[in-house]
Amino acid sequence: MTRPLLQVALDHLDLEKAMESARLIAPHVDVLEAGTILCFAEGVRAVKTLRETFPQHIIVSDLKGADAGAVLAEMVFSRGATWMTVICSAPYATMEAALQVARKYHGDVQVELYGDWTFDHAREWQKIGLQQAIYHRGRDAQAAGKGWDAEDIEKIKRLADMGFGVSVTGGLGPGDLAQFQGIPVKCFISGRSLYTAPDPAAAAQEFQQAIARYWKA
């Protein structure tokens, strides 16, 4: 089973602070994400700056696109994004338009799963050509005290069994990873727990060690 990647979501309100965090963490992660908050605060220059500074990393633009798929995709992929996100409630036409642009740049589009979605929707996404999904436990769910449960794990496993490359996010720490053992997770995404840690580099290393422990090559 392929070892999952580790992604840091940079959800800062300004690019300078995001880059400070990125420089500390980048040597210890596989994927750098211009998070939704950073994208709204700083625009596409966040993607451009990450690409210029970290040319070897996978760069994600977490736009959660809901419309204007081709336009948004052109904006971020032309500036160096590897992947971009669309929200699961976006029209299929929006997803497909974004994916067509992504392919022009040898990139990919991820469907971010929020709220009400079904496996019938997932099958339609596959028909369009989408191959990645992000299973998300959002900030509000975390604040309400909702932890990872058997239903979450089963949905993630089912998506992986369908052939999706599934990324998992939502208040994740190294201590949570045992719950996902045996599932071919594509990527674990962590944000504030990494870049607000007293030693962000050490926190990322600890996360990578946990991944290696449960997904031995």
Query: Is 139 annotated in the active site?
Result: yes
Q: How many CB atoms within 10 Å of residue 10?
A: 28
Question: Which of the residues 3, 36, 141, 201 is marked catalytic?
Answer: 36
Query: Is 36 annotated in the active site?
Result: yes
Query: Is 68 annotated in the active site?
Result: yes
Query: Is 136 annotated in the active site?
Result: yes
Question: Which of the residues 72, 99, 204, 211 is marked catalytic?
Answer: 72
Task: Say how many Å lie between the first and final Cα of the chain, rounded.
Answer: 7
Question: Which of the residues 67, 124, 154, 199 is marked catalytic?
Answer: 67
Question: Which of the residues 68, 141, 153, 201 is marked catalytic?
Answer: 68
The C-alpha atoms of residue 31 and residue 20 are separated, in whole angstroms, by: 16
Query: Is 104 annotated in the active site?
Result: no
Between the alpha carbon of residue 157 and those of residues 133, 134, 151, 163, 215, the distances in Å are 12, 12, 10, 10, 15
Question: Which of the residues 30, 96, 108, 112 is marked catalytic?
Answer: 112
Question: Which of the residues 17, 123, 127, 139 is marked catalytic?
Answer: 139
Secondary structure letter of residue 128 according to DSSP:
H
Query: Is 67 annotated in the active site?
Result: yes
Q: What DSSP letter does each residue of 173-197 carry, written as one string?
A: -GGGGGGGTTS--SEEEE-HHHHTS
Question: Which of the residues 3, 20, 37, 206 is marked catalytic?
Answer: 37
Query: Is 64 annotated in the active site?
Result: yes
Query: Is 45 annotated in the active site?
Result: no
- Tokens standing for 32? 């750098």
- Tokens standing for 185? 């997770």
Residue 83: closest CA among 22, 29, 134: 134
Active site residues: 36-37, 64, 67-68, 72, 112, 136, 139
